[in-house]
Amino acid sequence: MEIFVQQVIAGLTTGGIYASVALALVMIYQATHHVNFAQGEMAMFSTFLAWALIQAGLPYWAAFFATVVVSFVLGAVVEFAVIRPLHRAPELSVVVVFIGLLVIFHSIAGWIFGTQIKEFPTPFAKDAWYASRLMSAHQVGTIFVALCLVAALFSFFRYTTLGLTMRAAAQNPASSRLLGINVGRLLMLGWGLAAAIGAVAGMMVAPVVYLDPSMMIGVLIYAFAGALIGGIDNPVGAVIGGFLVGVLENLIGTYVVGTELKLSVALVLIVGVLVVRPAGLFGRRVVQRV
Amino acid sequence: MTRVLEIKGLRAAYGATEVLHGIDLHVDEGRVTALLGANGAGKTTTLRAICHFQVKTSGSVLFRGERVDSVSTEQIAALGVGHVPDGRGTFVGLTTEENLRLGCHARRDRNAVADDLERMFTYFPRLKERRTQQAGTLSGGEQQMLAIARALMARPSLLLLDEPSFGLAPLVVKDIFAIMRRIRDEEKVSILLVEQNARIALELADTAYLLETGRIVKSGTSAELRNDDAVRRAYLGQ
């Protein structure tokens, strides 16, 4: 029983990280109707930037916020320079470009920062009051950060005019332009926000898995599974899906398939959701009369 | 009378194919101007050319006395041109109310927006019933109403209406035109109406132009066009 509880809790913690990355995926999807496969690598790159800033002597939180801002700009620049010229290109070209971005960010990070595994600090003190025997302060902090992100994102899309115009621009860019909505600017903003969210996720995951150019590859697959389970267009669903994947991954890894095959759990989940319920548990199926 | 819209020598092309070969027309303030013509005459293209939307254009377009022919689609909308596009431009995954709120995304006067929303619901009670429903599930007529209401939410001074009768049952068309008449009387908006259905368009419009293969071939008051022999034969089936 003790092992079971421990596994569930460990699952919730990693789930928090998957949830944050899933949120970034949802963000891009809401803004562009694409799934950005390079999201994890962009997050990894951001985390390296944070690491470099901390190495340069900046205090943790200063480095944290500087990284979030720089990542936002980086995301916006990627949209403007790489994605925008493709706005008439077929889906498949865009997917290939996403994969290209993945490889590019991966290689650049290795080239600049080296492939050696690095330690990354956590902002949550070991002996903080919310630390307990079952959950370290960092684990609690990670979950808290994921929940804050989802609350912010959910309110943004649901209650703000900017969030509404963003959903509209993704859905029907032509009609949006006729209403005076500047679609290009919203796409840039969407990419920027997703990159910023990814950066936060990266900085949360790095203290656990350690920092190296490959740290986000597995995470991205889990996050993608989480986003799909929850519904790729629903921030709340994505977070629930992220936590769910974290827990499932741990339990099935412990009791059924063993840790070596854990990643295949995520892949099975992805395929399963796409076959059985493509809109996800909480996603909305868009109905259209013809 | 002031002219809300004045077009001179407007040409428009899709790629290398020119569709409008230099047309002149104007819309007087507070009036409904109809642009009639058969399929493929260039009616929809005219509206797109005014907004620089998906076509290459040349010639001059004056909106409230200012040249707008080098202004982007988004900015023209912001200046006060409401475009109800062909195909209705519904945001199918959003609710009816969200669709309407998109129309006034640039407005900051929250109370006035709430009033306008209520006013749209008095014009189109059906939309009120469908308020929280996904817009993609609305019928064709309801989506047309939604498109008109959405454009009006921005309080435009000029409304470009692209074939509101398209694909709708005759009764629904009658309904929509009755509401358009109310809107003309009660809103401070001038209307450029594109229609294939000449009969119903001439009933609503004050003046009208006849477009044939990219050229204006006739213009005048609605009464004049209704009594014109050629128009009667070709477009009114009399």
Write the pLDDT tens digit of every residue in B37-92. Answer: 988 899 999 999 999 998 899 999 999 989 998 899 999 999 999 999 998 999 99
**What average pLDDT does the segment B165-170 reach?**
91
Rounded CA Rg of chain A? 19
Decide: A112 and A48 in contact? Cβ < 8 Å: yes
Chain A residues with CB-CB distance to B73 below 8 A? 177-178
CATH architecture of A2-112+130-276: Orthogonal Bundle (1.10)
Among all residues of chain A, which has the CA nearest to that of B160? Answer: A178
Instruction: Please indicate if any CB of chain B lies within 8 Å of the CB of A288.
Output: yes
Instruction: Please indicate if any CB of chain B lies within 8 Å of the CB of A71.
Output: no
What are the residue ranges spanned by the domains of chain A? 2-112+130-276
Q: At residue B36, does pLDDT exceed 90? A: yes
Tens digit of pLDDT at every position of chain A (290 positions)? 788 888 888 888 888 888 888 888 888 887 777 888 898 999 999 999 999 999 999 999 999 999 999 999 999 999 999 988 887 888 888 889 999 999 999 999 999 998 888 989 888 877 777 777 777 888 888 888 888 888 888 888 889 999 999 989 888 889 999 999 999 999 899 899 999 999 998 998 898 888 999 888 888 888 888 888 888 888 888 889 999 999 988 888 888 877 777 778 888 888 888 888 877 777 766 666 65
Q: Are strands B17-28 and B190-195 parallel, antiparallel or unpaired?
A: unpaired
Among all residues of chain B, which has the CA nearest to that of A171? Answer: B91
The answer for B 120-139 residues in CB contact with A (under 8 A) is 134, 136-139
CA distance A251 to A257: 9
Q: What is the pTM of this model?
A: 0.84
Instruction: Please indicate if any CB of chain B lies within 8 Å of the CB of A179.
Output: yes
Q: Look at A164 and B102 and tell me if their CB atoms are within 8 Å.
A: yes
Q: Look at A174 and B75 and tell me if their CB atoms are within 8 Å.
A: no
DSSP A267: H
Decide: B32 and B191 in contact? Cβ < 8 Å: yes
Q: Look at B93 and A286 and tell me if their CB atoms are within 8 Å.
A: yes
Instruction: Please indicate if any CB of chain B lies within 8 Å of the CB of A180.
Output: yes
For chain B, the distance separating the N- and C-terminal CA atoms, rounded to the nearest angstrom, is 34
Q: Are strands B56-63 and B158-162 parallel, antiparallel or unpaired?
A: unpaired
Q: Which of A203, A189, A230 is nearest to A23 (CA)?
A: A230
Residue A288's pLDDT is 61
Q: Look at B136 and A287 and tell me if their CB atoms are within 8 Å.
A: yes
Partner-chain residue, chosen from A180, A183, A288, that has the shortest CB–CB distance to B136: A288
CB under 8 Å to B55, separation ≥6 — which residues?
Answer: B12, B13, B14, B19, B45, B48, B49
The continuous run of DSSP H or E covering A101 comes out as helix A91-113
Instruction: Please indicate if any CB of chain B lies within 8 Å of the CB of A176.
Output: yes
Q: Please give, rounded to a whole number of angstroms, the shortest distance from the CA of A27 to a CA of chain B.
A: 16
Q: Look at A284 and B134 and tell me if their CB atoms are within 8 Å.
A: yes
Q: Which of B46, B10, B42, B37 is nearest to B210 (CA)?
A: B37
Partner-chain residue, chosen from A174, A181, A233, that has the shortest CB–CB distance to B105: A181
Phi then psi for residue B192, to 5 deg, are: -110, 110
What domains can be seen in chain B, in order of their start residue? 3-235 (3.40.50.300)
Instruction: Please indicate if any CB of chain A lies within 8 Å of the CB of B165.
Output: no
